[in-house]
Amino acid sequence: MTERKSLKEQNAWLIRAAMICHVLAYIWVTVEPMKLLSVGRTSLAKQLETFAAPGTVGLGIIVIASLLLLGFVPPKWRDRLMHWRWKDPLPGSRAFSKIGPESGNVNMRKLRRELGVFPRAGDKQNALFYRIYRNHQEEVGVRDAHGRYLAARDIGTITALMSVTLPWLACWATEDYVKSAIYGVCLLVVFALCVIAAKNYSLRMVQNVLAAASSA
């Protein structure tokens, strides 16, 4: 029986795809678009396929760059960046005071009978939630939501780092302030979308864990 891949291993191709999109967007901004279009769609597609093919130098650079970018920001800071909360950023810190009671799929009375009085402090709530999560982490709904949250969080983190560096590099390379500013705004919009997605997926994960625990 083959060993099941971790969530981060399953999300690796999404991170690489996001990095490739960032590379293509930067090239599109710094190089005249008409020159890229003149290359021809077939030729351009072949070049991109060759660049991102397994075992190539291009893919190796992308993998190394993504590892360095994500390694630069610790997981706790990524959570803070996605949830815009400094203290207790994870939704597990509000699992029993807000998320659970507001979810129609969670039987809070049953959980209270089994677990006793719920803690009020965010760190205590998160600790209790994590203890429950470990018993249900392999369930389909929980694993799917958790994997999607990690993917959105990491892609959002990479995009945030790109948004404070690439527009300036584009401005230096092209001396076109308007195009570089538009590029920066587009990166911020992508980051905002990642934030929304990450929050929704993390909320769904907490709801699925509590629902599974209350129906067990």
Within-domain flag for 2: no
**What pLDDT band is residue 61 in, cutting at 50, 70 and 90?**
low
Domain span at 119: 7-215
E strand or H helix at 180: helix 177-215
**Is residue 1 a part of any domain in this protein?**
no
Helix spans in 55-176 (H): 57-72, 75-83, 100-102, 108-115, 122-136, 140-163, 166-174
Residue type (1 letter), 113: R
Q: How many domains does the chain have?
A: 1
Is residue 68 in some structural domain?
yes
163 lies in some domain: yes
Alpha-carbon distance values, 92 to 95, 103, 106, 145, 205 (Å): 5, 14, 14, 14, 9
pLDDT digits (tens, 9 = 90+) for 153-185: 989 988 988 888 888 888 887 788 888 888 899
Residue in the block written with tokens 């971790």:
6
61: which residues sit within 8 A by CB, 6+ positions away?
A: none
The answer to whether residue 204 sits within a structural domain is: yes
Model pLDDT for residues 65-92, shown as the tens digit of each residue: 666 667 777 888 888 889 888 888 888 8
pLDDT of 42 reads 53
Distance CA 140, CA 85 (A): 28
For the whole model, what pTM was predicted? 0.78
